[in-house]
Amino acid sequence: MSNTPLAGENLGPRIETLLHGLNDAAFVHLYTDSGFQCFVEVNDTACSRYGYTREELLKLSPTDISLPEDSAQRGAQTARRQLLDGGAAVFEATHRTKNGVEFPVEISSKIAVYCERQVILSIVRDLSERQQSQEHQRRLEAIMSSTDDMMSYIDGNYRYLTVNEAYLREYEFHRDDIINKTVAEVMGPEVFATVVKAQLDRALAGEPIKYQNWFEYGSGEKRYKDVTYQPHKSTDGRIVGVVVVVHDLTLNKKFAEERLELEAQLAHGHKMESVGRLAGGIAHDFNNMLFVIMGHADLARDTLAPHHPAHDEIAMVQGASLKAADLTQQLLAFAKRQESKPVVFDLNEAISQITAMLTRTLGEDIQLQWNPADKPAVIKMDPSQLDQVLTNLCVNARDAIGGNGTIAISTSFEGGQCGICQYDFSHRAGDFATITVADDGCGMEPDVVEHIFEPFFTTKNCNQGTGLGRSTVYGIVHQNHGHIEIDTAVGKGTTFRIHLPAHDPAELVDGIESTAPAALGGGETILVVEDDQDVLNIAVRYLESYGYQVYSAETKARALRTATEHGGEIDLLLSDVVMPTMSGPELSQTLRPYLPKAKLVFMSGYTNDNLLAGCPGETEMHLLNKPFDRQELGMMIRTVLDQDN
């Protein structure tokens, strides 16, 4: 240092107060042109922080407690030049204690006068805690920014101190737009007052808050969010702020709702399948009983003279049996076990032919509108089933209208996956031809629609319907790999949309030729196998009335014994499909070695695609639905026997 006096504060009178009252380390040292000189005064904080006694420190200079290789040395040298030129300087450096522990410091130096000497007074502040706090803050911000949840820290004055990147992205803010701004300034006073303030006040009072709700944005978009307000306490236990975390659950909410809907659809599908199996089982047993009733009535009539009074009574029994048979056919349609003969045809053409019949059925009060698609709507199903579907839907629509009204039938096309309503779970993707039947009737309540396809469910009076119409529609549509949508509301009418797999118009056929052979026997031999004794007796008597030789068997063992003894002479096997120990097809395979020339006819109270499985190698198998009359049986047997081998 030059000999020229430097201006500076005189520390002499107040050295004790200035140095020893500080919480930061304080050093007074000389500086000459040759460099730093030893300390001439230090405070107690310096001794404690650096681990030296006062005597030890007074033997050291600033270079002894600084790192010579410290990267801040260049900045320190610059600061010292500023000190000598201007009388004060502030810079950072790295110091070390007596035992070698290094720590960052901030040094504030100024020129002063002490004991009539020019000295440098340096106040050294330990930056360790500050740097640790800054590092902690950086880590916290890194953690906050690593999540898609919106996170913010709001102090007791409703002021944002920290927000993460997700928060900024959500609201399209820059950090400067939020930090140190109040919630009211950022979100607006109305939102703050009506939505946020009450929650913040509760949290600032010490109450953790968590809730979920839908939030609507200015664009009209709605999002479902999970919101948490967590009180934050200082080290002394005071609540100084609130951590707010917002987690977007919109997708989860939608997935959960869709899952619940799908589970409801699946449960409904299982329920309908169970009801279908029950309906099919009932129809099977009932058809056996009807066959016996119809058979005995038919045979009884043959024993009576033409003008016998009992003829009319028997005719009534036969008529009632036929009506009961129609009911079982509707049950079988619902259970998807009804025999069908699908062909490829154009919906537009077929419905055009049906509308005249429907108009007569619906009556003068109903206006029937027909709106066909502008090109062929080709499907594959039994045309008679289309009649059933449209008749049932239109009759129910007429009853829902209850007077003057309109029923509109139209066709259209749907590509890919059609919309599915909660009342119909079974469906598949693809191109569909759609039949729409819409009415302007009274509509239905949701709890009514939930049961609408169940057999015997009806809202009509007990004498106005059986409750099988729509269940028949359901069974037919599903049997043909289609599905149904319903759009209805009380007072707004009902619309049924039936989606059926579309087919290529090139598959259209002109029609099916049919011949009806005479139902006469020619002395051929038939083996009848049926586990129901009453059904077996009627079948045998029917066949014998046509002149056939008949063997009968109720069990597998009896059938095998008969086949072993008379197999060479048996021309045809007539067997029930469903039997207790073995199905009809399985029995035919067992008997085949003993019946080399026998042809196969099966009879059943219900049918489905798999009933005749179990006959590998058999190409000519025929199915006769119960209940059947004598002429149907005779025509079937005659037709099969007359076929070429």
Q: What is the dihedral of CA 559, 562, 566, 568, to 10 degrees?
A: 20
What pLDDT band is residue 152 in, cutting at 50, 70 and 90? confident
Phi and psi at residue 610, in whole multiples of 5°?
-105, 0
227-251 pLDDT, tens digit per residue, is: 899 998 887 888 888 888 888 887 7
pLDDT of residue 270: 63
Rounded to an integer, the average pLDDT of 136-144 is 69
- The bridge status of strand 405-414 relative to strand 209-216 is unpaired
50-54, 184-188, 466-470: the lowest-pLDDT one: 466-470
| Burial group, residue 447, by CB count within 10 angstroms (0-12, 13-18, 19+) | exposed
pLDDT of residue 465: 52
Rounded to an integer, the average pLDDT of 14-38 is 74
- Peptide bond just before 627 cis, omega within 30 deg: yes
Q: Give the C-alpha separation, 70 to 93, whole Å.
A: 7
Q: Does residue 340 surpass a pLDDT of 50?
A: yes
Share of the chain above pLDDT 90, in %: 15
173-182, 278-287, 354-363, 540-549: the lowest-pLDDT one: 278-287
Helix (H) or strand (E) holding 31: strand 25-32
What pLDDT band is residue 10 in, cutting at 50, 70 and 90? low
Q: Give the C-alpha separation, 89 to 305, whole Å.
A: 138
Q: Does residue 512 surpass a pLDDT of 50?
A: no
Q: Does residue 132 surpass a pLDDT of 90?
A: no
> Superfamily for 343-507?
Histidine kinase-like ATPase, C-terminal domain (3.30.565.10)
253-262, 445-454, 488-497: the lowest-pLDDT one: 253-262
pLDDT of residue 551: 94
Higher-confidence residue of 459 and 621: namely 621
pLDDT of residue 276: 59
Q: Does residue 216 surpass a pLDDT of 80?
A: no
Q: Give the C-alpha separation, 317 to 309, whole Å.
A: 14
What pLDDT band is residue 450 in, cutting at 50, 70 and 90? confident
Domain borders along the chain are 9-126, 131-248, 261-329, 343-507, 525-642
pLDDT of residue 2: 40
Rounded to an integer, the average pLDDT of 476-502 is 88
Q: At what angle do helices 383-401 and 469-479 cross, to 10 degrees?
A: 150
Range among 14-28, 120-134, 186-200, 439-453 with highest mean pLDDT value: 186-200
Give the 3-state secondary structure of residue 601: strand
Share of the chain above pLDDT 70, in %: 74
> Superfamily for 131-248?
PAS domain (3.30.450.20)
Phi and psi at residue 496, in whole multiples of 5°?
-105, 130
- The CA-atom distances, in angstroms, between 601 and each of 339, 533, 554, 579 are 15, 19, 16, 15
Q: Give the C-alpha separation, 521 to 295, whole Å.
A: 18
Is domain 525-642 in CATH 1.10.10.2120, yes or no? Answer: no
Question: 15-27: b or e for each residue (b if 16 or more CB lie within 10 Å)?
Answer: beebbeebebbbb
Higher-confidence residue of 123 and 76: namely 123
State which CATH number among 3.90.550.10, 3.30.70.1230, 3.30.450.20, 3.40.50.150 fits the domain covering 9-126: 3.30.450.20
What pLDDT band is residue 329 in, cutting at 50, 70 and 90? low
- The bridge status of strand 239-248 relative to strand 343-346 is unpaired
pLDDT of residue 194: 86
What pLDDT band is residue 371 in, cutting at 50, 70 and 90? very high
Rounded to an integer, the average pLDDT of 622-638 is 85
CB atoms within 10 A of CB 401: 20
Q: Are 348 and 373 in contact (CB under 8 A)?
A: yes
For residue 141, give every residue at least 6 positions away whose Cβ sits within 8 Å of its Cβ, in sequence order, or none: 162, 164
Average confidence score pLDDT of the chain: 78
Higher-confidence residue of 24 and 384: namely 24
pLDDT of residue 408: 93
Q: Give the C-alpha separation, 329 to 388, whole Å.
A: 11
pLDDT of residue 158: 92
What pLDDT band is residue 320 in, cutting at 50, 70 and 90? confident
pLDDT of residue 627: 80
Q: Does residue 362 surpass a pLDDT of 80?
A: yes
Higher-confidence residue of 345 and 644: namely 345
pLDDT of residue 517: 47
What pLDDT band is residue 356 in, cutting at 50, 70 and 90? confident
Q: Give the C-alpha separation, 467 to 458, whole Å.
A: 5
What pLDDT band is residue 511 in, cutting at 50, 70 and 90? very low
Per DSSP, helices labelled H in 192-249 are 197-204
Residue with tokens 């006062």: 54
What pLDDT band is residue 425 in, cutting at 50, 70 and 90? very low
189-208 pLDDT, tens digit per residue, is: 888 888 889 989 999 999 99
Count Cα atoms within 13 angstroms, Cβ side, for 565: 9
pLDDT of residue 505: 78
Higher-confidence residue of 618 and 587: namely 587
Q: What is the dihedral of CA 354, 355, 360, 363, to 10 degrees?
A: 140
Q: Does residue 76 surpass a pLDDT of 90?
A: no
Rounded to an integer, the average pLDDT of 323-337 is 59
pLDDT of residue 112: 80
Per DSSP, helices labelled H in 303-403 are 310-334, 347-362, 383-401
Q: Does residue 534 surpass a pLDDT of 70?
A: yes
**Same CATH fold, 131-248 and 9-126?**
yes
Report the alpha-carbon angle 361-362-366, nearest 5: 155
- The CA-atom distances, in angstroms, between 59 and each of 37, 49, 508 are 9, 17, 114
What pLDDT band is residue 421 in, cutting at 50, 70 and 90? very low
pLDDT of residue 1: 39
